[in-house]
Amino acid sequence: MQPDHSPDAAPVSVVTGAGSGIGRVVARALLDAGHRVAFAGRRADRLTEAAEWAPAGKVLVVPTDVTSEESVDALFDTVRERWGRVDVLFNNAGTNVAATPLEDFTLAQWSKVVDTNLTGAFLCARAAFRVMREQDPRGGRIINNGSVSAHVPRPDAVAYNASKHAITGLTKSISLEGRRHGIACGQIDIGNAATPLTERMDEGVRQADDTIAPEPTMDVAHVADAVRYLAALPLSANVQFMTVMATTMPFIGRG
């Protein structure tokens, strides 16, 4: 199959962390919306399984370590070589560690979370920005996955909280510098989407008042619907920040 670089072809999206959880559901939703989608993530087997039902020519599976500059650059080189452009980046890859009090938090734990959640998001945004700035038609959209923890922290999660607060600064910086290049950037802050990572909330997690309580979750499909809406906007419009959350989760008034 010959590469399709025509500007009127289906939009091209890159989704990081696409092998599981939110990334997997969003990547599939973008495929359903007619996009060509690059599934990026650490585990080739999970990416392949997530993308196996996709129509021929509509999907790329690109194993990627977002903490590696060389790996991220190779991801975007691969997408550009195959499809000629990048229209949307869903900057989703992230990680966390077990709940740990600040005084016991190790540098290794800190580095693991910050390297993935913040440095990885920066590397992917920078690579996408470079492609979007130079392509014809010029421009594109970067959607950063923040969190309600970008607004209010959870206890015993200092690295995750700090990294997600920093994502907000990254989003604003990309939005500012993207104006002259036709690049829009927004952030979706997600609260308790039901994935394997949030299953522990059914049994109870530590609250701001030091009690342990279960928390409600919402169907992750609602996150996919939100990202699909953002991706469909013309570049003349942007949603700078959007919060999608389980209605009764302890967010407003946390602490």
What pLDDT digit, counting tens, does each position of 50-80 carry? 999 888 899 999 999 999 999 999 999 999 9
pLDDT tens figures, 214-234: 888 889 999 999 999 999 999
Query: pLDDT tens, position by position, for the chain (255 residues)?
Result: 445 555 568 999 999 999 999 999 999 999 999 999 999 999 999 999 999 988 889 999 999 999 999 999 999 999 999 999 999 999 999 999 999 999 999 999 999 999 999 999 999 999 999 999 999 999 999 999 999 999 988 899 999 999 999 999 999 999 999 999 999 999 999 998 878 777 777 777 888 887 888 888 889 999 999 999 999 999 999 999 999 999 988 888 765
Cis peptide before 153 (omega within 30 of 0): no
Tell which CATH architecture fits domain 12-245: 3-Layer(aba) Sandwich (3.40)
Tell which residue, 253, 252, 167, 245, has the closest CA to residue 201: 245
The two three-digit tokens of residue 66, written as one number: 């977002």
Annotation marks residue 229 as catalytic: no
Q: Of the listed 150, 160, 163, 171, which one is catalytic? A: 160
pTM, two decimals, is: 0.93
